[in-house]
Amino acid sequence: MKNNTKEMFLHTASTLFAIKGYHATGINEILKKSQAPKGSLYYYFPHGKEQLAIESLELTAQKIYAEIKKTLAKYDDPIQGLQQHLQQLAQKIQQDIDNPREDKDNISISLIALETFFSNDPIRNRCKEIFSQMQSIYANNFIKYGYDAETANILAMNAVIMTEGAIILSVTQKNTLPLRQLADNLPLLFNLDVKSR
């Protein structure tokens, strides 16, 4: 029962953060939507909303890591794996555009980072760590296919930069063309003559 209460708080907070953002979501709204007593929230999350946000980010991050690894593992070429990952992101965002859901609980790491980078160091640092872990996953995949570590890290950082930028453009425009165009143009943008094997 205890774990269910904690999970309920996390799901409720994640949903509100995903729909309204961090600053527009209040503790009272989380309590009202979860229908749980205030004392139990602070029992599980003594640092309140900030801790809820950090743990919600972590839940989303674990899903993202698993999805990236699963997709990349299906392809013999790291660029093809990245292209497929981008297409999958475009499909998910398009579904959210076409059918907005009230129970959406996957937080956009980029949007939370942009919203809180100036005002909340713990959340900013958690977002930084998540982006760093994404880069590490991409880099390890490039190394697996024979790229040296330095080149792999350069390519991986660019993969994160371009992916997150395309996500922001896609959700802002309510159009997944940026993600789909990035997927189509990855081989040209990465110009793999720079690789070292």
184 in a domain, yes or no?
Answer: yes
- Looking at residue 189, its pLDDT comes to 87
pLDDT per residue as tens digits for the range 171-188: 999 999 999 999 999 998
pLDDT mean across residues, the chain: 89
pTM given for the model:
0.87
91 in a domain, yes or no?
Answer: yes
User: pLDDT at residue 195 above 70?
Assistant: no
Neighbour-count burial for 3-22, b at 16+ CB within 10 Å, e otherwise: eebbebbbbbbbbbbbbebb
User: pLDDT at residue 117 above 70?
Assistant: yes
Domain span holding position 95? 49-194
175 in a domain, yes or no?
Answer: yes
> In angstroms, rounded to a whole number, what is the distance separating the alpha carbons of residues 152 and 196?
9
pLDDT per residue as tens digits for the range 133-165: 999 999 999 999 899 999 999 999 999 999 999
Position with higher pLDDT, 103 vs 143? 143
pLDDT confidence bin for 52, thresholds 50/70/90 = very high
- What CATH number does residue 118 fall under? 1.10.357.10
Number of domains in the chain: 1
DSSP single-letter state for residue 193: G
Torsion angle, alpha carbons of 144, 73, 156, 147, to 10 = 20
168 in a domain, yes or no?
Answer: yes
86 in a domain, yes or no?
Answer: yes
Position with higher pLDDT, 91 vs 35? 91
20 in a domain, yes or no?
Answer: no
Contact 163, 89 (CB under 8 A): yes
> In angstroms, rounded to a whole number, what is the distance separating the alpha carbons of residues 114 and 102?
23
38 in a domain, yes or no?
Answer: no
> In angstroms, rounded to a whole number, what is the distance separating the alpha carbons of residues 105 and 17?
8
Contact 8, 36 (CB under 8 A): yes
41 in a domain, yes or no?
Answer: no
Residue whose C-alpha is closest to residue 197's, from 156, 126, 144:
144
- Looking at residue 19, its pLDDT comes to 87
